[in-house]
Amino acid sequence: MLATQQPVLRRFWYPVMPLEQLGDGPQPFRLMNEELVLWLDSEGKPHAAEDRCAHRTARLSLGWVEGDNIVCPYHGWTYDGGGGCVRIPQTPDRSAGRAKVRAFNAEARYGYVWVCLGDPLTDIPHMPEADEPGYRVIHQFYEVWRTAGLRLMENSFDNAHFSFVHRESFGQFDKPIPAKLNIVEEDFGFRFETVAPVNNPPLQKKLLKMDSDTTERHMTSNWFMPFGRKLNIRYPNGLVHAIITYATPIDDEHSMICQWAYRSDSEEDAPAEQIIAFDRQVTEEDKRVLESTDYDAPLDTASGEERHMPSDQPGMVMRKMLLALLARFGEEEARISGARIPMKEKAS
């Protein structure tokens, strides 16, 4: 599936940039191949519009904020948060309303600017830990990966890769049979539950305050269609480590990885720097493999392009639900021209 060529995927919310990065002025971002300019108004509310002045196409992200509006750096044409031109300095006696740029839905949540390019199908997911006492937030990663969002989402719910991809961090290489899991489908996603045995390396022993060489992760997780997940890990001692990860589609081949975590302990119990260091090791292990995969993952699991095994169930459900979403809105799956043909078809 080529995400940027599926119009319905423009109707979901994506975190695009940490709010603090807009403190120094407008910033550019590419979302689903749309070049955007992001800025904060005088009250700190984010706005998003196409990064292209209606006059001579200069990038608005090179300009500056004046009150609630953004000013083009080329000739000073000024636009409000709705994309309307409110000032053309060269013709003060004429209405500026004849010029307009496209504006998009933008909201501030969880320390990020979220953007939806179309009419939203659903709300930004609720993260109860953000408001519950006893939890702290740790902002971890904001970086580009050369992988498709669907590949990262499947990886996030794949118990079978622990023993191999994560053999140097928490995976048990000598126990490759994956833990059983349960999936309950919901509107625009699913809920996933599993209990997975894992190794407890030295850094984790310190962070978890657990001396055993192995432990269990009780994981109750959520997939937020299309490219978001919440991985809620509860350890036997009651500690909760909840990781939020979004693979925001820059284009079909690249995703902006936005990840933050909620912890039920304190900075004194486990320094954030060390928590990030362990999660960095884990994500680098994933990144190395995911960046080697084809970004045009087929939604049709019967196409023969890829083979499957029982533990692939979460990814199979994702593909089924995404296909159903496309059908619901009258779309067909967009693929690369000349997509890989199964061997049996080549032979014939």
**Domain residues of the chain, as ranges?**
3-116, 128-312
Name the percent of the chain lying above pLDDT 90.
82
To 5 degrees, how large is the angle CA 150–CA 155–CA 156? 100
Q: For 260-273, what is each residue's pLDDT tens digit?
A: 999 999 999 999 99
If 0-12 CB within 10 Å is exposed, 13-18 middle and 19+ buried, where does residue 224 land?
A: buried
The CA–CA distances, whole Å, from 173 to 177, 235, 338 equal 10, 20, 37
CA-atom Rg of the chain in angstroms: 22
Query: Please, which pLDDT band fits residue 2 given cuts at 50, 70 and 90?
Result: very high
The residue ranking higher by pLDDT, 69 or 200, is 69
pTM of whole model > 0.85? Answer: yes
Topology adopted by domain 128-312: Naphthalene 1,2-dioxygenase Alpha Subunit; Chain A, domain 1 (3.90.380)
Q: Is the pLDDT of residue 307 over 70?
A: yes
CA-CA distance, 235 to 239, in Å (whole number)? 5
Tokens 């006059």, residue located? 55
Structure tokens at 84: 């309307």
HSE of 11 in the Cβ direction (CA atoms, 13 Å)?
A: 11
**Cα 75 to chain centroid, rounded:** 36
Query: Please, which pLDDT band fits residue 338 given cuts at 50, 70 and 90?
Result: low
Q: For 96-137, what is each residue's pLDDT tens digit?
A: 788 999 999 999 999 999 999 999 999 999 999 999 999 999
Query: Please, which pLDDT band fits residue 95 given cuts at 50, 70 and 90?
Result: confident
Tell me phi and psi for residue 310, to 5 degrees: -55, -35
To 5 degrees, how large is the angle CA 128–CA 132–CA 133? 165
Q: Is the pLDDT of residue 340 over 60?
A: no
Topology adopted by domain 3-116: Rieske Iron-sulfur Protein (2.102.10)
Dihedral (Cα; 276, 236, 208, 132), 10-degree rounding: 60
CA-CA distance, 117 to 34, in Å (whole number)? 9
Tell me phi and psi for residue 150, to 5 degrees: -65, -40
